[in-house]
Amino acid sequence: MSLTIQPNCTDNPEFGTIPVNTALDMILEAIHPSSNLETIPVQDCYGRVLAEDIHSTIMVPPFTNSAMDGYAIHHQDIPAAAEQLSKLTIIGTTVAGQAFQGKVNQGETVRIMTGAVMPEGTDSVIIQEHVETKNDTITIDSRHQSGQNVRQAGEDIKPGDCVLNKGRQCLPADAGIIASLGIPEIKVFSPLRVAVFSTGSEVCDFSQKATDSSQTTTIFDSNRYSLCAALKPYPVDIVDMGIIPDNPQHLKTAFLEASQNAELIITSGGVSVGEADYTKQVLAELGQIEFWTVAMKPGRPIAFGKINSALLFGLPGNPVAVMVTWCFLLKPALEKMLGITNAPVIPSFQARSLSHIRKRPGRTEYQRGILKPDGHGQWSVETTGKQGSGILTSMCKANAFIVLEHDHGSVKPGDMVNVQPFSGIF
């Protein structure tokens, strides 16, 4: 008698799987940016996504002014010959917030402070350290340029300039620039409502610890906490739906409720082929859901599709698989839903591996690594140790993913590997 062995991820990794890039392309193709808009005060713009281009109606700076503390002169008073000196009479002082009354003639100068309007008849500023003062005169030499230390009106922004583009997730300097244009309010995309829940009868929240004294059959939920934290930098309203046990009726109710309250549903667990993995069955009944086996490790089984008008990502249950699928599939999808066009480019470069890494071609592997300078101007990387998809400490010890591409084989110490530092991701 012989047994029929079901293929699984440790047998033929290519069996029935789709490459990560194909999965990502299919996800992105199915997603359309949200179109709900709202108007907010400029001081709330950090992290929000612009729903329209920001144009200027004014010049920045609005008037020509001094960039330094010093003396405003006309450039023709700068001596032409190297050894020559010029003596100029100080006829007054001007400070920021005031305009000098009167015209400055050749042979004259005005003491000027940073930000003050350039007096009529002047076009250059000599910094105070470069002049010799005596009574009401200054002496300057020939080492100066026409127009130096002056900020021209409109040199940064001119009326009509498009300063920030639609789709930009605002950074701190953007708040400053919008305010500098005198714009009090901006149109942004409304926050996306995201429902998050964990599935699994063995999963409980740490707040339930008191009632589950033995902890011999249950584990504390980590996925919901990782996912909610990963969502924090985005303009989202999180609908935290807690933990749903492996019970078809409970799951059905939770998915329907999520689809009514959110535009994006993110769940973890229950999408593989275990006996209690009812999620697949319930999802198949409720919506247009596809169940993919993605050629990635960790993170193979994924459900993707729609329940009513809500988009759904059913992530695997293992905590590292959740993080990896978040980074490489969900995060780009969320950014597209939010209309973000300036998501930071994740740096990717080669580092010398200090570790031996076993790997078979046919799937992309995301090992967790510690990346550091090797002291010779290059980077080296070693794995964090145990790489099981349940070893969440591997994420916390790591500062980079070691990305071993689809066709890559095993790695020997000394081989170059691709790395993606976390600092570009989170």
* Interaction of residue 298 with ligand AMP, rule CB under 6 A: no
Q: Which does 384 bind (CB under 5 to 8 A by kind): ligand AMP, Mg ion, none?
A: none
* Interaction of residue 421 with Mg ion, rule CB under 5 A: no
CB of 23 to ligand AMP, least distance (A): 17
Q: Are 117 and 63 in contact (CB under 8 A)?
A: yes
- Of 272 and 387, CB closest to ligand AMP: 272
CB of 330 to ligand AMP, least distance (A): 15
- Of 245 and 332, CB closest to ligand AMP: 245
Q: Are 327 and 235 in contact (CB under 8 A)?
A: no
CB of 14 to ligand AMP, least distance (A): 21
Reading the block at residue 106, the tokens are 């050749």
Give the pairing of strands 54-55 and 162-164. Answer: antiparallel
Distance of alpha carbon 426 from alpha carbon 421, whole angstroms: 9
Comparing CA positions, the residue from 223, 167, 186, 155 lying closest to residue 392 is 223
- Please, how many CA atoms are within 13 Å of residue 79, restricted to the half-sphere of its CB? 13
* Interaction of residue 314 with Mg ion, rule CB under 5 A: no
* Interaction of residue 319 with ligand AMP, rule CB under 6 A: yes
3-state secondary structure (DSSP) of residue 322: helix
Comparing CA positions, the residue from 11, 109, 106 lying closest to residue 363 is 11
Which residues, in sequence order, are bridge partners of residue 351?
417
Burial of 275 (0-12, 13-18, 19+ CB in 10 A): exposed
Q: How many residues belong to the site for ligand AMP (CB under 6 A)?
A: 18
* Interaction of residue 254 with ligand AMP, rule CB under 6 A: no
* Interaction of residue 369 with ligand AMP, rule CB under 6 A: no
* Interaction of residue 317 with ligand AMP, rule CB under 6 A: yes
Which residues, in sequence order, are bridge partners of residue 127?
70
- Of 250 and 406, CB closest to ligand AMP: 250
For residue 74, the tally of other CB atoms under 10 A from its CB is: 19
Binding mask 196-215 for Mg ion (x = CB under 5 A): ----x---------------
* Interaction of residue 299 with Mg ion, rule CB under 5 A: no
Which residues, in sequence order, are bridge partners of residue 192?
236
Distance of alpha carbon 4 from alpha carbon 13, whole angstroms: 18
Q: Which does 178 bind (CB under 5 to 8 A by kind): ligand AMP, Mg ion, none?
A: none
- Of 13 and 270, CB closest to Mg ion: 270
User: Among 167, 191, 235, 316, which residue interacts with ligand AMP (rule: CB under 6 A)?
Assistant: 316
Binding mask 258-277 for ligand AMP (x = CB under 6 A): ----------xxx-x-x--x
Q: Which does 268 bind (CB under 5 to 8 A by kind): ligand AMP, Mg ion, none?
A: ligand AMP
* Interaction of residue 269 with Mg ion, rule CB under 5 A: yes
CB of 333 to ligand AMP, least distance (A): 20
Could you give the C-alpha distances from 8 to 1, 11, 301, in angstroms and in order? 22, 6, 11
Distance of alpha carbon 51 from alpha carbon 338, whole angstroms: 10
* Interaction of residue 319 with Mg ion, rule CB under 5 A: no
Could you give the C-alpha distances from 268 to 23, 32, 313, in angstroms and in order? 18, 23, 8
CB of 278 to ligand AMP, least distance (A): 10
3-state secondary structure (DSSP) of residue 224: helix
Binding mask 171-210 for ligand AMP (x = CB under 6 A): ---------------------------x-x-xx-------
Q: Are 66 and 76 in contact (CB under 8 A)?
A: no
What residue ranges bind Mg ion (CB under 5 A)? Answer: 200, 269-270, 317
What residue ranges bind ligand AMP (CB under 6 A)? Answer: 198, 200, 202-203, 219, 221-223, 268-270, 272, 274, 277, 316-319
